[in-house]
Amino acid sequence: MTTTAASPAVPLSLANRTIFVAGGGSAGPGWSIGRAACVTYARLGARVCVADRDRASAEETTRLIRDEGGTADTFIGDVADEADVARLFAEAKARFGVIDVLHHNVGIGKTGGPLDTKLEDFDQAQSVNVRSLLLASRQVLPDMIEQGRGALITISSVAGMRYLGYPHLSYCVTKAAVIQFTRMLAQQYAANGIRANTVVPGLIDTPRIANTVAKMFSETSLDDARTARARQVPLGRMGTAWDIANACAFLASDAAAYVTGTELLVDGGLTGKFS
């Protein structure tokens, strides 16, 4: 005698969820990971808190969501400043209620190895990339524990797992820390119904390319930098912000109800190439 599944596949929906996106703006015109994630969450029915220190950029993300009929509001502050973080989350909760999902999407770093990385630059990367995650987690975990559910999504990088051919010490080390931080969150709070996972982007074509990554290559043009990066990827192209946003949407939803404490690589096969 055969049996059928007790329940059908879970649809990808974020209806009635409030998602706080730290880093919901963009480093320049176009689609950053944070902006694409905000819009994707809203398209799936979520109420989106677009948090960033750049008001104009965050407001642009909010406008894009509202123009499509979605629900979002803008929250401006420094995610590495304890007082600012407390204020940001207080304002978000006053506007939309308890935060169901924290999407932590911040990261800075300067090119350089141990001998040419300034201590102040290293400390700043630690503060923005890791300390900010601690501050944000402290804001959302008590309510998630009380509710018996919640999800945290952190954004790391393949640079936090592999050496990709150029020295980027402060960024690599702190993005590795984000992965381990998230693993610890997942284990400690699994019994409370809280899931925590890291999305690990590979070489993604975002506005950040124009600002920083092009300088890491000997070629002078942005097009040359893009071509050089695409050649490194087994799939033959850089990823898009939407590739990452779709992965985040899965982890935020009930479709990922049994996924916690892991890293979702979205890298076109790049990490396997360096195994």
- Return the CA Rg of the chain: 18
Give the domain ranges of the chain: 18-273
CA distances from 218 to 215, 221, 222, 233 (A): 7, 9, 11, 18
Q: What is the pTM of this model?
A: 0.93
Q: What angle do CA 118, 121, 122 make, to 5 degrees?
A: 90
Per-residue pLDDT of the chain (275 residues; tens, 9 = 90+): 445 555 667 779 999 999 999 999 998 889 999 999 999 999 999 999 999 999 999 999 999 999 999 999 999 999 999 999 999 999 999 999 999 999 999 999 888 999 999 999 999 999 999 999 999 999 999 999 999 999 999 999 998 998 877 788 999 999 999 999 999 999 999 999 999 999 999 999 998 876 666 555 555 577 887 888 888 899 999 999 999 999 999 999 999 999 999 999 999 999 988 76
Q: 18-273: CATH homologous superfamily?
A: NAD(P)-binding Rossmann-like Domain (3.40.50.720)
Q: Report which of 188, 164, 189 is spatially closest to residue 175, judged by C-alpha positions.
A: 164
Residue 66 has a CB neighbour count (10 Å cut-off) of 13
Residue by residue, DSSP assigns 128-183 as IIIIHHHHHHHHHHHHHHHHT-EEEEEE--GGGTS--SS-BHHHHHHHHHHHHHHH
Structure tokens at 270: 């790049």
Query: Mind telling me the catalytic residues?
Result: 171
